[in-house]
Structures are given as C-alpha cells and as structure tokens.
C-alpha cells in the first residue's frame, strides 16, 4: 500500500443524506413541518409568516416575530420594559422560582411572558400586547398582568384600539393568588376602555388556555383566532373525567369555538394584518358634526343688507 492510499483510507467517510439533512436542520437552514412532515427552506417559511407552504399548518411564532408581522417597520415603541418579576411567595417546586425566572430570562432574552407597546399597523396607531409561550408557557404572573393593564390604560387615554395576541397556559402557579388577581385587574381596564367606546381585539393563538381564556382573551369586541389553535379553560382529560363523557375530536379547537359562537372569525396568519387594519378602519370613531348647518356667507350679507 502506497503512502497516498494509506492517507486516503484515513479520510472520514462522506456523511449520508440523512446526516446532511439533520445538520441542515440543526443549522436552521431547513424546517420540518410538524403536521405534514415536509421539509421547507426556513427563509421561505419566514416569508410566509411561518405557515407551511404545503398544508397551511401554522407553526408557533414568538413575540419578536409577531410584532414584526403586525407592526410597520420602525414604528414600534415598547412600554414598561423595566418591569421585572419577583418571587414574593418564595415559591419552590423542583427548584426555586427565582432561579427558574433567571434561567428562563437567560434562555429567551425576555424579561417576562409578554411584550407591550404602541406602533403603526398599516399606518394606523394601535396599542399591542404579545404573549410569548417560550417564557414559562406564557403563564400570566404579576408582571404580565401589570404590563397589559398599563398598555390598555395608556390606549384609553390616547384613544387607541387595543390588540392582544394571546398564547398562554394560564395563570402562573408560582405566584398563587397574585397571578389570579391579574384576571380581574386586566378585565377592569378593558371595561373602562369599552366605556370610552374604544375597540379591543384579542387574537387567540395556539395555545390559549386557563385563566387567560377565562378573562381578557374572551372579552374582545371582535374575537379572532388562528386556524386549528387550541383554545379552552380546563384540560381535555379533566373535563372528560368530570363529565364522564367522550368529547368530540375537534373539541377546544378554534374551528369548534367558531361553530359554537365563542369566536367571531378564524383568520389565517398571512391575512391577519390586513384584516385587523380593515376592522380598525371600520370601527374608528366618526368626527363630530354640528347638528345645525352653518349659515351660508351670502345669507349673512343679505341679512346685513336688509338692516
């Protein structure tokens, strides 16, 4: 065996097609649809707002991307970024709540499970809250409740429509009763917003459950949902065990809720911004017009002339 052959045999074998595919997935070049299994180029998916090009499956998107999808470029102004969660109950399960918060913040680069702010949606000023499921399942703690309440109150003062993109497992158990109080606090702010004759539109995404569903997610003037999103309060197994009945296969889906009158419309993500803009324009307050028409200038002159 020659020296060249010896070195040739020492070379690493070429990776198989499956290994190359796994490497490309790991590098983020390709994304596999969880519904149909088709591999799609990630940039093409992002251009289609993370909706599968083959089966229209809506992949989960997080708060930063959702804001980019809805808000016009360079118009987003965050509100209350300084609010940080604390551990008032010194709660501990498998680990300290304070440690869990710190680890989640480092992993997601988020302060808590919601981002709030104002911006332009198709040149229309709006107040927006976007929940993020990456942060402890989008659970609603004190900071989530406070930030949503403040953005609603600011929208009421500035007479802006409110949009909240919901994605949550419900109230945050590590904050106990303090998290449940947020349901009433946000609902109260929304009631004052409604008394001011202003618009509120929640967007129910996958999943929207628990105390979020039991409060502000279902209090909209117009309730929109993404296709095939899971929406409900208690879990399917809990309901079946309580009722001792088998539930329909499509139970707690956005399609089921639309059929039973809990949702006003199911809007594909690629049409969501346009639909929101149309709804906001339709529900903008009309300018106040005087009840008595002004007297024409010619009539003023004739009246003065007769004097």
Comma-separated ranges of CATH 3.90.226.10 domains in the chain:
61-282
The pTM of this model reads 0.84
Give tens-digit pLDDT for 139-198. Answer: 999 999 999 999 999 999 999 999 999 999 999 999 999 999 999 999 999 999 999 999
Query: How deeply is 194 buried, as exposed, middle or buried, from its count of CB atoms within 10 A (0-12, 13-18, 19+)?
Result: middle
pLDDT tens sequence across 208-234? 999 999 999 999 999 999 999 999 999
Give the residue from 273, 281, 282 showing the smallest Cα distance to 67: 273
- For residues 239 and 277, the answer to whether their CB atoms sit within 8 Å is no
Q: Is the pLDDT of residue 86 over 60?
A: yes
The pLDDT assigned to 24 comes to: 47
So what's the pLDDT on residue 285?
Answer: 63
What percent of the chain has a predicted confidence (pLDDT) above 90?
A: 80
| Residue 268 · residue 225 · CB < 8 Å | no
Q: Can you spell out the DSSP letters for 138-164?
A: G-B-HHHHHHHHHHHHHHHHHT--EEE
Average pLDDT over every residue of 222-248: 93
* CA neighbor of 182 nearest in space, from 125, 213, 143: 143
**Exposed (0-12), middle (13-18) or buried (19+): which is 303, by Cβ within 10 Å?**
exposed
Average pLDDT over residues 15-25: 54
Architecture of domain 61-282: Alpha-Beta Complex (3.90)
């Amino acid at each position: 065996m020659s020296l060249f052959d010896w070195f040739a045999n020492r070379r690493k074998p070429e990776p198989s097609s499956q290994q190359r595919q796994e490497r490309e997935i790991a590098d983020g070049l390709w994304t596999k649809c969880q519904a149909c299994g088709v591999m799609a180029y990630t940039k093409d998916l992002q251009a289609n707002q993370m909706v599968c090009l083959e089966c229209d499956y809506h992949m989960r998107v997080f708060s930063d991307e959702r804001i980019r999808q809805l808000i016009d470029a360079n118009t987003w102004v965050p509100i209350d970024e300084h609010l940080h969660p604390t551990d008032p109950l010194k709660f501990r399960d498998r680990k300290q709540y304070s440690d869990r918060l710190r680890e989640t913040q480092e992993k997601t680069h988020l302060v808590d499970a919601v981002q709030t702010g104002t911006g332009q949606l198709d040149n229309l000023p709006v107040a927006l809250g976007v929940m993020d499921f990456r942060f402890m399942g989008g659970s609603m703690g004190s900071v989530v409740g406070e930030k949503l309440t403040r953005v609603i109150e600011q929208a009421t003062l500035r007479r802006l429509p409110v949009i909240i993109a919901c994605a949550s497992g419900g109230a945050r158990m590590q904050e106990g009763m303090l998290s449940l109080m947020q349901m009433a606090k946000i609902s109260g702010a929304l009631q004052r917003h409604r008394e001011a004759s202003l618009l509120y539109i929640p967007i129910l995404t996958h999943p929207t459950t628990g105390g979020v569903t039991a409060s502000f997610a279902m209090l909209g003037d117009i309730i929109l949902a993404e296709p095939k999103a899971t929406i409900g309060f208690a879990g399917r197994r809990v309901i079946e065990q309580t009722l001792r009945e088998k539930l329909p296969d499509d139970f707690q889906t956005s399609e089921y809720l639309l059929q039973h009158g809990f949702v006003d419309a199911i809007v594909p993500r690629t049409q969501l911004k346009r639909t929101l803009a149309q709804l906001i324009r339709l529900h903008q307050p009309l300018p106040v017009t005087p009840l008595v028409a002004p007297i024409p200038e010619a009539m003023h002159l004739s009246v003065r002339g007769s004097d």
